[in-house]
Amino acid sequence: MSDISPIRATSGTNQEGTSAHNRRVMMDALRLNGALSRADLARATQLTKQAVSNIIEELERDGFVVSLDAVRKGRGQPSTPYRLVPEGAFAIGLQIDRHLTRAVAVDLVGTVLVRAEAKLPPDDPHGGVKIILGVVESIRRDLAAISALSEKRIVGLGVAMPGPFGLEEFGDNKWMMPAWQKYPLLETLAAGTGLDISLQNDSAACAIAERMVGAAHGLDHAVCLYVGYGIGAGLILNGELYRGGSGNAGEIGMALLSPRGSDGAVLEHRASLASLYQQLELDPSETGLYDHVAALALAEDPALVAWVRDAAMDLRWSVQLIETLFDPETVILTSGAPEALARLIVEAMLPLPLSIANRPGRSLPRLQLGITDPWSIALGAAAEPIGRAFDPRFSAILKTRSGG
């Protein structure tokens, strides 16, 4: 039996013209496993030792990787481990919600270095964007005080907000922030910041945060069920975030709950935090709402517990549907709600209904609790530019081979 422990990594390719993909594979292996030697990297990525040496030297030269002190294992020659340089890259993440905005700056390994928040005027994107640009500017100033190289190494600004996106008819549906969706948000932010901008929905941002620093770290197939003001599912399939044809994949909150949809009820109208606020007659823009809900959950307030019981019935069904459609290794419930409330929800969802996920030899539970932090959406938004720049993706191979 071998005493060599497995290393989590994506396979590289030794064919010519694939260096962009192999750089990403090497950096991802270091992100997943921490410090690794050249031999470890070659074994994990299935690249030749020469290819690994060439890429390591390149990454060192570009400031993404640094060597550590040599380590001797057994009787062999000492090996030099390498790790990512956190200051090798930075990104800013921005959450835009109905009543507030949150922004964070992260480094290459996902550590939050700076954060800020501000209230937004309701249904006023023109006035709201001015506030947002001020928040982003303050984040950049604070980040520059931490690292003099930050401005040169910011790879982008990730934006997360409620979806779905691009629907023609909004009507009076405030759930989808119609005024913001009709506003030229990305163009305005790009002009105001000079940064590359990307957009995703809240659940996708939570899934990216879970993959970077949470329960989905190192998993290739996981679905993050996001319970926030609305409800969504962030889909990590084959190690990558699946967005769908229009960026609306995973909008499970829009699923009709009645067989024929005769009553128009959808999942997020009955099991989201918005429905909780309505049932308990709470103002979602209230200062201190998070702490108030946490106190109710810890005290197991009867009205809150009654909502949890009813919401859990619909959420149990959504997990069964997710498992049937995507066959994930696990479903992770993630939320901006207080941890005490999220735990009550998970406990009320158990036991889960039978599905194809009921199989022997599981290494992970069918359902587990993920990140419960109101800043997780901003974190996931910040992680998206990092992932887009450095994570292994099939597009890196295709673009290289086509000369793109």
Here the CATH number for the domain that contains residue 9 is 1.10.10.10
Task: Give the pLDDT confidence score for residue 2 in this predicted structure.
Answer: 40
In a domain, 105, yes or no: yes
319 inside domain: yes
Cβ atoms within 10 Å, residue 389: 15
Q: What is the pLDDT of residue 248?
A: 86
- 219 and 367 belong to one structural domain: yes
In this structure, the answer to whether residues 49 and 96 fall within a common structural domain is no
Statement to judge: residues 194 and 165 lie in one domain: yes
Say whether both 353 and 212 belong to one domain.
yes
108/36 same-domain check: no
Domain membership flag for residue 340: yes
pLDDT value of position 175: 61
Residue 399 placed within a domain: no
Q: Are the C-beta atoms of 159 and 96 separated by less than 8 Å?
A: yes
CA-to-CA distance for 364 and 373, rounded, in angstroms? 22
- Whether 250 contacts 235, CB under 8 Å: yes
Q: Considering its fold, how many domains does the chain have in total? A: 3
400 belongs to a structural domain: no
Q: Are residues 60 and 197 located together in one domain of the fold?
A: no
404 domain residue, yes or no = no
Q: Find the CATH number of the domain harbouring 314.
A: 3.30.420.40
- The string of pLDDT tens digits covering residues 104-117 is 999 999 899 999 99
Residue 13: per-residue pLDDT: 53
Examine residue 256 and state whether it is found in any structural domain, yes or no.
Answer: yes
Q: Are residues 256 and 365 in the same domain?
A: yes
Query: Which residues lie below 8 Å from residue 241, measured CB to CB, with a gap of 6+?
Result: 200, 204, 207, 208, 211, 234, 235, 387
Token pair for residue 279?
Answer: 């049932």
- Domain edge (last residue) among 38, 60, 84: 84
Domain that holds residue 5: 1-84
Pair 173, 274: CB distance under 8 Å: no
Residue 175 belongs to some domain of the structure: yes
How many helices (H) and strands (E) are present in the chain, helices listed first? 15, 13
Alpha carbons 85 and 147: distance in angstroms, whole number: 13
Tens-digit pLDDT profile for residues 32-75: 888 999 999 999 888 999 999 999 999 999 999 999 988 877 66
Residues 138 and 61 occupy one common structural domain:
no
Would you give per-residue pLDDT tens digits along the chain (404 residues)? 344 556 655 655 554 446 788 899 999 889 888 899 999 999 988 899 999 999 999 999 999 999 998 887 766 678 899 999 999 999 999 999 988 999 999 999 989 999 999 999 988 999 999 999 999 999 999 999 999 999 999 999 999 998 888 776 654 555 678 888 889 999 999 999 999 999 999 999 999 999 888 899 889 999 999 999 889 999 999 888 898 888 888 888 888 765 544 456 788 888 999 999 999 999 988 888 999 999 999 999 999 999 999 999 999 999 999 999 999 999 999 998 999 999 999 999 999 999 999 988 899 999 999 999 889 999 999 999 998 888 876 544 444 334 44
> Does one domain contain both 80 and 119?
no
Same domain, 366 and 228: yes
- Shared-domain flag, residues 262 and 282: yes
Q: Are residues 197 and 211 in the same domain?
A: no
| Digit-coded pLDDT (tens) for 173-231 | 556 788 888 899 999 999 999 999 999 999 999 999 998 888 998 899 999 999 998 89
